[in-house]
A and B are shown apart, each in its own frame.
Chain A
Amino acid sequence: MKTQKEPFLKKKWVQSLIASLFCVVLGLLIGYIVLLFINPKGAWDAIGTVVKNFFTYPNPKVALKYFGSTLVKTAPLLMCALSIQFAYKVGLFNIGAAGQYVVGAGACLYMALAWDLPWWICLLGAMAAGAVLGSISGLLKSYCNVNEVISGIMLNWISLYTVNMILSNVKESASPYTYQLASFNPSALIPSMGLGKLFSNNQYVTIAVPLAILMAVVIKIIQDKTLFGYELKATGFSKSAAKYCGMKENRNIILTLAIAGALAGMGAALLFLTGYEQWQCTQSSVPAMGFNGIAATFLGGLSPIGTVIASYFIQHITSGGAYVDKTMYSSQISDLISALIIYLCGFVLFLKYFMNSRIAKREEKASAAAKAAEAASEKESIEPKDVDPNEKGGEE
């Protein structure tokens, strides 16, 4: 029946793109206004620095190296965002991704430093730890009716304290940081396979980056092309309808959160097993990675591929925040911008509704005009095809 070409603005991905761009521009604008309030002199430079990130280095080689570093941190962010996206499609808000990320970090670092295991086992361990934490939330949700947001937050704090305690066993005696992977157990480092050379010898750029992107593709395929993905989405649309169709909705919820947890745990492994960062055992707040993942998910229009781009953007401005002039502003300005972006994403649904109703009104007008024309001259019949270019011309 779909003979008519859909108007450009009606396409889902176009609408998502417009909505996301709207959020980004408005988020940056409000961030800029906040900077103006703090100190009007350097505000333009500061917001420019946040957006430029590694381009602030004039030397292209150095810039390339720091581009690599941004990519290194994009990989875990993307995994957290995928974790949240995967759960959100089933109607679950996995705010516990932050905690699943924490236990992933704890598991992979402990396995690497205390048991001297190779990287891929540590990676699997991190995934398993995240999955266990995720399924706790899932069990509580499906059998005890505990809101997954609240249980997720509680588990975030519990896992932070636990991991701090466990990793204290493998930390340097003089500092709160865990041992350097490179000197302690190089076999636990994720192999670079020559990728680092592409980024001016940035040894932290490893196969972790393509691995994360690969996972995004896998998630996309699972959601769009498999029976399992279909069942999960159906459960998300209506739990009772899915149950009525014979889908096991409790099993689906637990499984979803377990997979989401595994993704977030893997994200932690993809960062900490590059040796780029060490865990600080006196950390008193849950790492922001899992929360920034929320920003990336919604900015990415809830599609795995959009999430890849959005994750890069969020990490780009987060890294850029580190370069602002510290005598005037703080690096948290980029956290502020990502938080604003999430807030604005709350309005996306309304924005899309607004766009659709505008289009619908136009179509109605066009068809009314067509009908009027038909009535006026009955001999001339106007096909719906002729209506199309009319309304297209009218669109801004």
Chain B
Amino acid sequence: MTLLLQYTLIFASVLVLVALGGCFSEHSGVINLGLEGIMVMGALGGALAMKYMSADTSSFIMIVVVILAAILVGMIYASLLAVACVNFKADQTIVGTALNMLATAGATVIVKAINTAENPDNVSSTMQYVGAKRAFLVNIDGFEFNWFMLVAVLALLAAAVTLYKTRFGLRLMACGEHPQAADSVGINVYKMRWAGVLISGALGGLGGIVYITAGVSEWKFENGVAGFGFLALAVMIFGQWKPGRIALAALLFGLFRALSNVYAGFGFLTALNIPGSVYNMMPYIISLVVLAFTSRKSRAPKSEGIPYDKGQR
């Protein structure tokens, strides 16, 4: 049971972080379908940081450096989306999809290049970080507390305060609802949208590193992050673009994702004799069903997905 709780919390942390990222971007008016790719890139940045830091660095420094690396790489990668969608008015769906494919291919090429440079016989795209990963974990009575869970909670609080209680957050949301109106009172829509996308890059990158350290201590970059970025988008829609609800939705989805990891540990679940693939499918099926019921009365930001054109009325 503790195992289920542990996995639920860590997967929920990933979903909260990434879904909040999507939330910021969409509130500013840019649909960020590239979250999946941003996760991969953030994961790559964090994994590289873990790889190149000596194993005897203190836990605190290790955690800070890994988090900063993931955030930084995520933000740099997200700026590709911002350039195309904010400045060049590109189709946000195409660019987002391209970023997803680019991230997986790019990460694979980079990791394979590093692996073969170290050992010419090693052509795999797998990266290991068994030692470094220990820095994130604190064992409390069989329950492995992960510092990232705390990070996710802090991010959630910060996001809620930023969006609803600060001038910046309210202006950001205005740009997603009615950019022309926002512009007319002197808000720079382009700047705000850049900010939204960069924040989503930071949170998405952070989510990526949390995801690849959740439960495993090596990652095969050829697989990307297996649709987790899109699950986070489903969480965001289910959460109606509101941080509080997003957290609840993330817990629900995290539970189903955790089940596929630990179902073997439950007597009654193994007795049902359902093949493992069904548990793997569960999060995706649940999200489809949930979306079918919640999307009708969706409270999406009104102008999301529409490039802002100053001259348009």
Contacts and interface: CB of A to CB of B under 8 A. Distances in A.
A39 B280 contact: no
A154 B277 contact: no
Contacts of A295: 101
Interface string A301-338: 00000000000000000000000001111101101101
A330 B223 contact: no
Interface residues of A, number: 48
A298 interface: yes
Given A144-B291, A330-B109, A346 B226 contact: no
Contacts of A39: 113
Contact of A346 (B98, B108, B277, B291): B98
B230 A153 contact: yes
Contacts of A121: none
A151 B291 contact: yes
A118 to B, nearest CB: 30
Given A144-B295, A144-B296, A145-B295, A154 B113 contact: no
A154 B95 contact: no
B109 A349 contact: no
Nearest to B222: A285
Given A285-B222, A345-B94, A154 B287 contact: yes
B84 A343 contact: yes
Interface residues of B, number: 52
- Of B106, B116, B284, chain A has the most CB atoms within 10 Å of the CB of B284
A328 B102 contact: no
Given A144-B295, A330-B113, A346-B91, 6 more contacts: A147-B295, A157-B281, A294-B98, A332-B222, A342-B102, A346-B90
Interface of A: 34, 38-39, 93, 95, 140, 144-147, 149-151, 153-158, 161-162, 164-165, 284-285, 291, 294-295, 298, 326-330, 332-333, 335-336, 338-340, 342-343, 345-347, 349-350
25 contacts: A34-B106, A38-B110, A93-B93, A149-B33, A153-B227, A154-B288, A157-B226, A294-B101, A298-B94, A328-B113, A329-B109, A330-B109, A332-B108, A332-B112, A332-B125, A335-B108, A338-B105, A339-B98, A339-B101, A339-B105, A343-B102, A345-B94, A346-B85, A346-B95, A349-B91
Interface of B: 33, 80, 84-85, 88-91, 93-95, 97-99, 101-102, 104-106, 108-110, 112-113, 116, 120, 123, 125, 222-224, 226-227, 230, 233-234, 237, 275, 277-278, 280-281, 284-285, 287-288, 291-293, 295-296, 298
